[in-house]
Amino acid sequence: MKRFLALMLAVVLFLLPFSVSATEDTPVIRSGSGESPKIALTFDDGPHPRQTDRILDLLAEYNIHATFFVIGQNAVYYPEPLKRAVSLGHEIGNHTFRHEGISKMSAPMLEKELADTEKVILDLTGVKVSLFRPPEGACSEAVLAAARHAEYPVILWTVDTRDWDLASTDKIVSTVESKVRGGSIVLFHDYTARTAHTLDALKILIPKLLDEGYEFVTVSELLGGE
């Protein structure tokens, strides 16, 4: 399935005006085509036993599906919110095993990070992930080589909410409102070291964006892979 999705994504890169770049057959994707009002909410660094569940509750309230880029080590520590996300129909992506030192890792070290995370997610949920987001959006030659080896497209983002930097609720809302468009991939986090304003901002943004005609989908749905 992963090989098929990677092949399909490589094909659509030539057919649709996605915001992408590519190095040696490794697609680096920052947005969808923009030809429809579909947007993708994405959440990095989870799972977390409280933050993830609160976000899942809110998404379920609006019957919205999102994509969660999971750290393998956190999935080992907190498997239940990951399992819940899958049971609710959300998409899971690979965000490395430890989320640290990625700029200093060789391609073989990164390949192990990706393989270990993929195995953890598969063992816990039965899901074989097909998307990869490097921590901090790092796209070094080693990162691209590891993604290519694992047959992952690299998924970045169109809108950075900076919730990881503890941006205020108002700032997150204004950032998304000013930058979102059809095809946007929006970066949030469901695990932050300190209390972020992610949930409060989502409570404002989701109904507002729905009223404006946007449709929330997973990254794969945004890119036509599902």
Q: Are 67 and 221 in contact (CB under 8 A)?
A: no
Q: What is the pLDDT along the chain (226 residues), one digit of tens a residue?
A: 444 444 444 434 433 445 555 555 789 999 998 889 999 999 999 999 999 999 999 999 999 999 999 999 999 999 999 999 999 999 999 999 998 878 889 999 999 999 999 999 999 999 999 999 999 999 999 999 999 999 999 999 999 999 999 999 999 999 999 999 999 999 999 998 788 999 999 999 999 999 999 999 999 999 995 5
Positive or negative, the Cα torsion across 97, 81, 90, 182?
Answer: negative
For residue 7, what pLDDT is reported? 43
Distance CA 223, CA 61 (A): 25
DSSP string covering 198-215: HHHHHHHHHHHHHHTT-E
Would you name the residues annotated as active-site residues? 44, 189
Structure tokens given for 204: 């404002």
Judge residue 34's burial from the number of C-beta atoms within 10 Å of its C-beta, 0-12 exposed, 13-18 middle, 19 or more buried. middle
For residue 193, what pLDDT is reported? 77
Query: E strands within the chain?
Result: 20-23, 26-29, 38-44, 67-70, 91-94, 154-155, 159-160, 185-189, 215-217
Q: Report how far apart the first and last C-alpha atoms of the chain are (Å, whole number).
A: 11
Distance CA 66, CA 33 (A): 18
For residue 102, what pLDDT is reported? 85
Domains of the chain, first to last: 2-222 (3.20.20.370)
Query: What phi, psi does 118 have (nearest 5°)?
Result: -60, -40
For residue 195, what pLDDT is reported? 87
